[in-house]
Structure 1
Amino acid sequence: MRTARLRNVRPVLWTGWAALATGAVLCVLGWYGISGERYAERQLPYLASCTVPGAALIIAAAVLLTHGRNALAATRVEELYGLLVATDPEDATSAEGTAAAPVAVSGDLLMVPGGTLWHRADCPLVAGKPEALPVDSRVLAGGDLAPCPICEPTASDESTTPAGPTAPDGPAAAPSDGPSSGAAG
Structure 2
Amino acid sequence: MLGGERGVKTNETKEQQQMEEHLEERQEERTETSPAEAEETSAQDPARQPEDDRLSELQRQAEENHSRFLRAQADFDNYRRRTQKEKEELAQYASLKLVDQLLPVLDNFERALQSGGEAAESHSFSKGVDMIFRQFYQVLENEGLKKIEAVGQPFDPELHQAIMQVESEEHESGTVVEVVQNGYWMKDKVLRPAMVKVSG
TM value normalised by structure 2: 0.35
More helix by share: 2
Q: Which structure: greater strand fraction?
A: 2
TM-score by length of 1: 0.37
**Which of structures 1 and 2 has the bigger CA Rg?**
2
